[in-house]
Amino acid sequence: MKIIAVEEHFTTKESTVHFRPPIPVVSTKKTAKMATCKGESLDHIEARLKDMDDAGIERHLLSLGPSVEQYEASLGTSIARAVNERVIEVVKKYPKRFAGLATIASQDPESAADELERVVKLGLKGAMIKSHVNGEYLDEKKYWVIFERAAKLGVPIYLHPKEPSPGMIQPYLKYPQLTGAMWGYGAETGLHAMRLICSGLFDKYPELKIILGHLGEAIPFWLWRIDAKGNIDNLAKKPSEYFRDNFYVTTSGMFWHPAIQLVHSALGVDRILFAVDYPMESSEYAVQCIKTLHVSETDRKKIFYRNAEAVFKL
Amino acid sequence: MKIIAVEEHFTTKESTVHFRPPIPVVSTKKTAKMATCKGESLDHIEARLKDMDDAGIERHLLSLGPSVEQYEASLGTSIARAVNERVIEVVKKYPKRFAGLATIASQDPESAADELERVVKLGLKGAMIKSHVNGEYLDEKKYWVIFERAAKLGVPIYLHPKEPSPGMIQPYLKYPQLTGAMWGYGAETGLHAMRLICSGLFDKYPELKIILGHLGEAIPFWLWRIDAKGNIDNLAKKPSEYFRDNFYVTTSGMFWHPAIQLVHSALGVDRILFAVDYPMESSEYAVQCIKTLHVSETDRKKIFYRNAEAVFKL
C-alpha cells in the first residue's frame, strides 16, 4: 500500500550552525539515536531514501527539525530562505519521493507570509511553525497575516511542538523530561491550539487548515469537555466545532491503538494523517501500528496516504 | 442498578465565609447553575438527597468544594477540622446514602497527615487535595508525610484540579475560560500527577492509591508516549506502569463515550469509577452516559459501584 508520512524532519548546515537547544538537553535513548541518524541531513538523501524503503514509505513530507523563531528576525528569515531552497531542490530531484513544508521566521510575520507565498508558488505545500514565538502565541493579531496568506493560498499550517513557553515552564523544570516529548511538548502545543480557537481566528478565516501532530495534542481526548462549560462569548461556533472543521491530526509519536481509536471515534477517519516524526521515531514501528489497526482497508488507505494527498494537494 | 458517585462536592458555612476565587470568575452557564443548587450546602441535605434520587444515585462520596490550601496554615487547619466534623455527622445520620473524603490543609503537611488519620479512624475514606499548594506540588518531599500516612491507613488521595499554578498560568490568562474546566484544570492536574510519578513517590509507597477525576486528566491519552522517550533514571519502573498500578480515574465531567472507551482500553475496567462532580455537572446526564456505554453488564456494575466499594472500602 502507498504510504505518505507527513511530519518527517531534516536538518541542513544553515539550520544547525546557529542552533542552541533552548533548555539543557535531557539525556534519553532517543537523543542518542538522533545523533546517529545519517538520513536526517539533506546532505545524505540516499540514506534517508534507504530508511524510507526499509519501512515501505513512499514519500516524506519534509519539514525542518530545528526551529528558527528564536533568532533575530533577519537571521531567522535568511535561514528560512536557505532551507526552503534546499527543500525545493530535493523535491525537484525526487518528485515522487518528497514534498515539502516551508520554514518561515514567524518573528517577522509580514516577511514570513511573503516567504510562504513565494515558496508555495515554487511547489511547497504549506508551512510548519514550532509553537510559541519567543513566548508569544500565534493568536496575537500581529501573526494573523501568516494565517491570512495560508488561507488565501489554500495551504495548511502545521503547528509543531517545542518546549513550553517561559510563562508556563517553571513547574516542568524540576524533572527535565517533563519539558519535552513526555509531557511539555503536548501541553504547550495543545494550549496553543486552544488559544487559536478562542481567538476567533477561524471565524475570520473559515477555510484555514491547521495540522497538529501527536494525534491532536490531547484535544481529541478533551473534545466534549471543551464545550461543556458554555460558549465563548466572541465565537460563532462551539470550540469543538472549530476543532472538527479546521484541524487535522497526525499519528507522529503516537503509535498506540487506544489513542488512535479515540481520535477515529471523535473526529472521523478523514481527519487522521500518517506521520512518523523521522528521525525521532521508528518508521517501521509506525507503519506496523497502522497496518495492524482495526479499521477497514478503505480507512487504512485514507490514513496512510489519501488524506495527505487531499489536505496537502499532493 | 446501584450507583455510587465519588466526586460529589459540598459547601459548609465554615468553608465559604473566607473563600475568595483566586482568579476572576468566568461567567458561564455552569457558574449560574452552581449558584442555584440548593443541595450543594450540607445545610440542605434533603435537597441533595432529592437530586440523588432523581438521578438514581444511591450514594455520594462527599468532598469539599472550595479549597483550603490558600489560607494561613492554622486557619486552613481549623476550617478542615470543622468541615470534617460536619461530614462525619452527615455520614453517621445517613450511612447508606453518604460516605466522605477528608479535607486536609496540606500547607501544614504534618498536621494534615494527623487530621487524615484522625478522621479516617472516625469513618472517612481518604482525602481530597486540590492540586498545587500555593504554587508548590506534592512531589516536594515535605508533603510525603501525607502520602506515607495515607498508605499506612490504606486510603486513597483524590487529586482534584484547580487553576494552574502561578508558574504556569501566564499563557492561559488571555482567555480566562482556559484557566478553568475548559483546559487549565486538566493541564494543572495532569502535570501534577506526572510530577508525582517522576519523583519516585510510588517506589517509596508502592501501595499508595491516587484518584484522578476527568478520566485521568489526559494521562491515559498519553500513556504510550510518556514511556516513549526512555526511562527516568531514578525510577524502578516505566512511567506508565506507575499510572496503571497506583492510579484510578473517575468519570467526573467527562460524560463522553470515545474518551471513556479509550480509558477502558488503556487501563481496564477495574480502574474506572463513576463520578458526577455535583453540583457542577448534571447527575442525570452522567448516569445516562454510563447506562448507554457499550460494555458488558459486569463492567457497568464495576464502573457504577463495585470499583468504588473496593477502592474506598465502602
Beta carbons of A5 and A61 less than 8 angstroms apart = yes
Phi-psi region of A152 (alpha: psi -120 to 50; beta: other; left: phi over 0): alpha
> Which residues of chain B lie closer than 8 angstroms to A196, CB-CB?
none
**pLDDT digits 0-9 by tens, B52-65:** 999 999 999 999 99
**pLDDT digits 0-9 by tens, A139-186:** 999 999 999 999 999 999 999 999 999 999 999 999 999 999 999 999
Mean pLDDT of A261-273: 98
> Which residues of chain A lie closer than 8 angstroms to B272, CB-CB?
none
Which residue from A186, A224, A261 is facing B254, i.e. has the nearest CB? A224
B262·A261 Cβ contact <8 A: yes
Q: How confident is the model at residue B23 (pLDDT cuts 50, 70, 90)?
A: low
Sign of the CA dihedral running B131, B136, B142, B144: positive
Beta carbons of A141 and A194 less than 8 angstroms apart = no
Residue B294, burial from CB neighbour count under 10 angstroms (0-12, 13-18, 19+): exposed
Sign of the CA dihedral running B6, B8, B14, B20: positive
For B200, name the nearest residue in chain A, comparing CA atoms only: A175
Identity of the highest mean pLDDT range in A26-30, A302-306, B38-42: A302-306
- Whole-number Å distance between alpha carbons of B171 and A199: 13
Q: Residue B27: what pLDDT?
A: 44
Q: Residue A16: what pLDDT?
A: 86
Beta carbons of B230 and A29 less than 8 angstroms apart = yes
Q: Which residues of B65-203 form beta strands (DSSP E)? A: 98-100, 102-103, 127-129, 157-159
- Pick among B225, B227, B293 to test the A interface (most A CBs inside 10 A): B225
B258·A239 Cβ contact <8 A: no
Which residue from A169, A198, A262 is facing B262, i.e. has the nearest CB? A262
- For chain A, the maximum distance between any two Cα atoms, rounded to a whole number of angstroms, is 53
B223·A178 Cβ contact <8 A: no
Residue type, A85: E
A256·B224 Cβ contact <8 A: yes
Q: Residue B32: what pLDDT?
A: 44
- Whole-number Å distance between alpha carbons of A272 and A251: 7
Q: Residue A169: what pLDDT?
A: 98
Q: How confident is the model at residue A10 (pLDDT cuts 50, 70, 90)?
A: very high
Q: Residue A125: what pLDDT?
A: 98
Q: How far is CA B23 from CA A116, B170, B173, B174, B188, in A?
A: 40, 12, 9, 12, 15
Which residues are CB-contacts of B126 (< 8 A; sequence separation ≥ 6)? B101, B102, B120, B150, B155, B156, B157, B158, B209, B211, B312
- Pick among B183, B197, B255 to test the A interface (most A CBs inside 10 A): B183
**pLDDT digits 0-9 by tens, B151-188:** 999 999 999 999 999 999 999 999 999 999 999 999 99
CA angle, A210 then A239 then B217, to 5°: 95
Taking Cα atoms as reference points, which of A158, A135, A162, A172 lies closest to residue A66? A162
Distance from CA of A154 to the nearest CA of B (A): 28
What is the ipTM, given to two decimal places? 0.95
Q: Residue A15: what pLDDT?
A: 87
B225·A182 Cβ contact <8 A: yes
CA angle, B28 then B31 then B35, to 5°: 150
> Which residues of chain A lie closer than 8 angstroms to B29, CB-CB?
229-230
Sign of the CA dihedral running A216, A221, A223, A228: negative
Which residue from B137, B183, B226 is facing A194, i.e. has the nearest CB? B183
- Pick among A262, A265, A282, A285 to test the B interface (most B CBs inside 10 A): A262
Mean pLDDT of A4-11: 97
Taking Cα atoms as reference points, which of B254, B250, B225 lies closest to residue B238? B225
CA angle, B268 then A295 then A269, to 5°: 100
Mean pLDDT of A297-311: 98
For B197, name the nearest residue in chain A, comparing CA atoms only: A175
Check pLDDT > 60 for residue B252: yes
> Which residues of chain B lie closer than 8 angstroms to A194, CB-CB?
175, 178, 182-183
Q: Which residues of A are annotated as catalytic?
A: 277
Mean pLDDT of A227-245: 89
B191·A178 Cβ contact <8 A: yes
A226·B182 Cβ contact <8 A: yes
Q: Residue A22: what pLDDT?
A: 65
> Which residues of chain A lie closer than 8 angstroms to B199, CB-CB?
175
> Which residues of chain A lie closer than 8 angstroms to B28, CB-CB?
229-230
Mean pLDDT of B109-129: 98
**pLDDT digits 0-9 by tens, A177-221:** 999 999 999 999 999 999 999 999 999 999 999 999 999 999 999
Q: Residue B268: what pLDDT?
A: 98
Which one of the listed residues B51, B139, B277, B299 is annotated catalytic? B277
Which residue from A139, A232, A259 is facing B221, i.e. has the nearest CB? A259
A·B CB contacts under 8 A: 181
| pTM of the complete model | 0.96
Strand order of the β-sheet with A59-64 is A4-10, A59-64, A98-100
Residue type, A118: R
Q: How far is CA B73 from CA A88, A95, B78, B81, B116, in A?
A: 63, 67, 9, 12, 15
Q: Which residue has the cell 514509505?
A: A57
Q: How confident is the model at residue A301 (pLDDT cuts 50, 70, 90)?
A: very high
A224·B183 Cβ contact <8 A: no
Average pLDDT along chain B: 94
DSSP state of A57: -
Q: Which ranges of chain A does DSSP label H, i.e. alpha helix?
A: 13-16, 29-35, 45-55, 73-93, 109-121, 144-153, 184-199, 201-204, 214-217, 225-228, 239-246, 257-267, 283-291, 297-301, 307-312
Distance from CA of B170 to the nearest CA of A (A): 5
Q: Residue B181: what pLDDT?
A: 95
Q: Please give the grid coordinates belonging to residue B248.
A: 484510578
**pLDDT digits 0-9 by tens, A70-124:** 999 999 999 999 999 999 999 999 999 999 999 999 999 999 999 999 999 999 9
Q: Residue A94: what pLDDT?
A: 98
Sign of the CA dihedral running B260, B266, B269, B275: negative
DSSP state of A67: -
**pLDDT digits 0-9 by tens, A15-60:** 888 877 666 555 444 444 445 689 999 999 999 999 999 999 999 9
Q: Residue B31: what pLDDT?
A: 45
A191·B198 Cβ contact <8 A: no
